[in-house]
A and B are shown apart, each in its own frame.
Chain A
Amino acid sequence: MNNFLDFISNDVEVKKTFLSSLPTKTKTNIKKYNSSIDEFVNKYTSYRESVFNYIKAKKRALSVPEVKKDFDSVNKKIEILEKGRNILNPLNTSYEKMGFDNLLYRMSNYYVFNFDSIDNLINEFIDKFVSAGIKLDSKNFKYNYYVHKYMDVFLKVRKGEKTQDDLNVTFEEIYWVNPDIISHIEINFRKLIKKNMRKFDSYISKIKKEYVKENGISTYSACIEKLKSAYLEKEKLNNEDVSDIVEKAVNKEFDISQYLESSKFRKSAYSSFLSENVDINDKENMKTICSILNKLYFNLEEYEGYLSILPIIDSFKEEYEDIKDKKNSNSSELKNIQTSIKKEEASLTIINFKISRGNKDKNLKMESINITKRLRDLYRKYDDEFFKSRVLSVLNSNMTVSDVLELFLSFDYFKKITIQKVYELNDYNEVIKQSNIYDEFAKNPTNLIVKGLPVFEDNNIPRIIANKYKLNNILINEDDLTPDNLDALKNKISLITRINKINESDTTVEKIWFIVNANKIIEKMKAN
């Protein structure tokens, strides 16, 4: 007998045959039979214990030391630069930089999303005014009778002069007469923002000066360049080392048995990218190939990210395709809306004055509600035209996907409105989830493909990618790059680059396979 494995294999068969030959008809027979089983169980439990201890020791001996990576410093750097990206953004105004568009999106969709409380939103508005040195009191909330009634109590609760119960009672009273109270509060804030815009401009200007002084970055483009370096630095830190590969294998993020030399998947991964005449044992050659494959991997990730936000780009394309060459300024539309707002607000002020002077005409309150409704529609129309004016300022037939990404990134309100529309979402958390996916992709300054992708042309990204890598002797064609194939392609690239990394280290695929299986055994024994 050569070794313990052969011994066990034979011994198991012998013992099975022995047991099957034992009579089990009587109680005495069964006792003897069970007694033999107990004896074998004891013996094999002792074998198992010995092998288990050996496996544990072997696993310890083969373990790959973890490499400590410090992400804190680069994350901090990115956080500071992201602040700069917002402050220095040349596309948007103090309104967006203050985050008012984000708050107004939430408030204007209050009924759609069934938020629990409007009070937190109102507090966030008030806090933004406070940060810019603007103190609001009940006199600032005289948009109509009902807004004033609610906000008067709200501000008293904020100061501790009234209770939350008082506010709830007030809301109940108002709601049954004026169910649009929240949108009325919204346009009261819109008016206040408009009125105080200069103060917000100077506040942002002050913040900008401080930022430039503190960080030595004075232009948006310089900020984006620095962000790109920081992202690359993070990407480098994120690069898998062998200890990461072991951890991922143990956590079943990939199947290590597919990496063994005997695996068909491994063979197909190599043959699907590399021509037969490539010597995969040539270390230098494989180093070059893996560096190319890593770039391909990043391109595929970018392509995947692009596909995830494509409906937003398509929606933009559909809206502006026809006017991209004959764009006319919409400044007159903007002015007309502003004039209408002024007129309606003047009428509202007169009615509010009459009500405040004790005029009991019930029609006055109804008229104030009707005017407020018209004003809400006017403000929304103004938002649309304002965004359009920003689009028109940069719209041209050579616009790239990257330019569109910047636009929506600069105007949060429109990004979310578009997301809500194109993905047909009625759940706020879903909108935020999709918005975060958008931000993660659009903010990445290392994106390459979208920078040169004309938004108003039909683009074939799979062809662009495939042609690029054919030049590098990587066997890939555009049919391989269908969205459904991307994960499989990425898995194959990971296999080749990981095996190369493992081969360059002190460990082997077989050792990692052992660690993974030893780990499974340890977990199983712990559970028993």
Chain B
Amino acid sequence: MLNDKVDFDLSLLSLEELIEVFNDIDSFIQYLLDSKIEVEKEDENE
């Protein structure tokens, strides 16, 4: 079970799906981190 509000049973996933879901989550985290905007650079537009 996941320790989160979303309560899914990972044992329902196939082995291939487990790897896939991990990679999707990992890629999304990377996407999010890359999407952050540095505030200081935007100061001039304020």
Contacts and interface: CB of A to CB of B under 8 A. Distances in A.
Interface of A: 3-5, 7-9, 12, 15-16, 19, 24-27, 30-31, 33-34, 37, 40-41, 43-48, 50-52, 54-55, 58, 510-511, 513-514, 517-518, 521, 524
A7 B10 CA distance: 12
B22 A52 contact: yes
A105 to B, nearest CB: 56
Contacts of B28: 8, 12, 15, 40, 44
Given A7-B8, A517-B19, A30 B37 contact: yes
B39 to A, nearest CB: 5
A37 B22 contact: no
Most chain B CB within 10 A, of A15, A54, A510, A518, is at A54
15 contacts: A5-B20, A5-B21, A16-B31, A25-B45, A27-B42, A27-B46, A30-B42, A34-B36, A37-B35, A52-B22, A55-B19, A58-B15, A58-B18, A510-B16, A514-B19
A34 B12 contact: no
A450 B28 CA distance: 59
Q: Which 6 A-B pairs have the closest CB atoms?
A: A4-B8, A514-B15, A50-B2, A517-B19, A54-B10, A5-B21
Nearest to A45: B29
A50 B16 CA distance: 17
Nearest to A518: B19
Given A27-B46, A514-B15, A51 B22 contact: yes
Given A44-B25, A47-B25, A48-B25, 11 more contacts: A3-B8, A8-B21, A12-B28, A19-B35, A27-B46, A31-B39, A37-B36, A46-B3, A47-B6, A50-B2, A50-B3
Nearest to B29: A44
Contacts of A58: 15, 18
Contact of B24 (A12, A27, A511): A12
B40 to A, nearest CB: 9
B43 to A, nearest CB: 7
B36 A8 contact: no
A3 B25 contact: no
Given A4-B21, A54-B18, A40 B32 contact: yes
Contacts of B16: 510, 513-514
B36 A50 contact: no
Contacts of B9: 4
B6 A7 contact: yes
B2 to A, nearest CB: 4
B26 A48 contact: yes
A77 B8 CA distance: 58
Contacts of A524: 26
A44 B22 contact: no
Contacts of B20: 5
B32 A37 contact: yes
A37 B41 CA distance: 18
Contacts of A24: 37, 42
A52 B18 CA distance: 9
A37 B38 CA distance: 12
B39 A4 contact: no
Contacts of A521: 19, 22-23
A55 B22 contact: yes
Contacts of B3: 46, 50
Nearest to B33: A41
A391 B4 CA distance: 81
Contacts of A33: 37
A127 to B, nearest CB: 60
B32 to A, nearest CB: 5
Nearest to B2: A50
Most chain A CB within 10 A, of B3, B28, B32, is at B32
A52 B22 CA distance: 7
Nearest to B26: A48
A514 B45 contact: no
Nearest to A525: B26
A5 B26 CA distance: 13
B27 to A, nearest CB: 9
B4 A47 contact: yes
Nearest to B40: A27
B4 A50 contact: yes
B13 to A, nearest CB: 6
A24 B38 CA distance: 11
A514 B29 contact: no
A19 B18 CA distance: 26
Most chain A CB within 10 A, of B12, B21, B46, is at B21
A236 B18 CA distance: 37
B8 A513 contact: no
A9 B15 contact: no
A91 B8 CA distance: 76
A55 B18 contact: yes
Contacts of A55: 18-19, 22
Nearest to B27: A12
B39 A27 contact: yes
Nearest to A1: B8
Nearest to B18: A55
A511 B15 contact: yes
B33 A9 contact: no
Contacts of B15: 58, 510-511, 513-514
